[in-house]
Amino acid sequence: MCPAHLSANQDRGFIIPIGGGEDRKKERQIHRRFVELSGGPGADIVVIPTASELESTGQDYNRIFRDLGAAEVDFLPISKRADCDNPRYLDMLDRATGIFLTGGNQLRLSTILGGTAIAQRIRKRNAAGATVAGTSAGASIMSEHMIAGGESNSIPAEGAVSLAPGLGLTNAVIIDQHFTQRNRLGRLLAAASYNPFLIGLGIDEDTAAFIGPNGLFEVVGSGTVTVVDASGLTHSSMWEASRGQALSLLGLKVDVMSEGCRYDLVGRQAYPPDPHAAFCALPNLPSEDGPRH
């Protein structure tokens, strides 16, 4: 599943995967920038709390975004697939300038939203310029290939990670969250080794990657984003490994990036913070043949 096609002279909106555990009470830096990119005082934000089974989740995020100055905020109480055909919910997404997917269980999110009109509308709105953010499970589901589960505190091994289809807002990366806190490097390395075309993003708690329409992202938050680029692999034992066997992965490139660092997903190049650069200042758009988000 690839991102929705762009109309002429139209840039996609930002996508913002967040590693979970973000600051919701003090500076709320990540939420604040999400609101700004969604239109600031003119923002119309729709929260989708489907991944969570807590009834308060949607209301909690509504309060945060209202406090930060968004003009309109509401949430979609989607708890079953039939809810995804509700014309009122689709109309709300049609007007949204920002869409926020909460944390919880990514398989709950994918099995309820996958293949529905709501999922299609999220992709179309992002292609039309709306900002889409997601935290924890909401971050994992953004990519075409989603990490559905796997072992933490483990070596990279065959079978260490399970994958499922995601929303397809980006076909350039595969995303893991709560990354350092749950020691998930092994399973991200295993996921990246399945197809070295994908760039692995391991996102810490209270940290986000603000991915612009041309594939350049900036790190925001108190933790790090770990980037795993397997495109230069000189040897991988994945194809011949038995279940649970440790992998050999030679030629990997790993970048660990804190706040202000930027990464070009097309050129596969990391850059240090630039105090003189505008937030997520973006160079030329990538070729249509390159990875898209």
| Residues forming the active site | 136, 178, 205
DSSP one-letter string for 226-284 = EEEE-TT-SEE-GGGPPTTPBPPEES-EEEEE-TT-EEETTTTEEE---TTSPTT---S
Q: In what order do the strands lie in the sheet with 98-101?
A: 72-75, 44-48, 98-101, 131-135, 15-18, 207-211, 216-221, 262-264, 269-271
Query: Comparing C-alpha atoms, which of 168, 202, 140 is closest to residue 292?
Result: 168
Nearest to residue 279, comparing CAs of 107, 17, 37, 10?
A: 37
Quick one: DSSP state of residue 14? P
Q: Are 31 and 65 in contact (CB under 8 A)?
A: yes
- Which residue, chain included where needed, has tokens 């399973």? 187
Q: Which residues contact 104 (CB under 8 A, 6 or more apart)?
A: 49, 50, 51, 52, 53, 54, 57, 136, 137, 138
DSSP-H helix ranges across the chain: 29-37, 57-67, 87-95, 106-113, 117-127, 137-140, 185-194
For residue 44, the cross-strand partners are 72
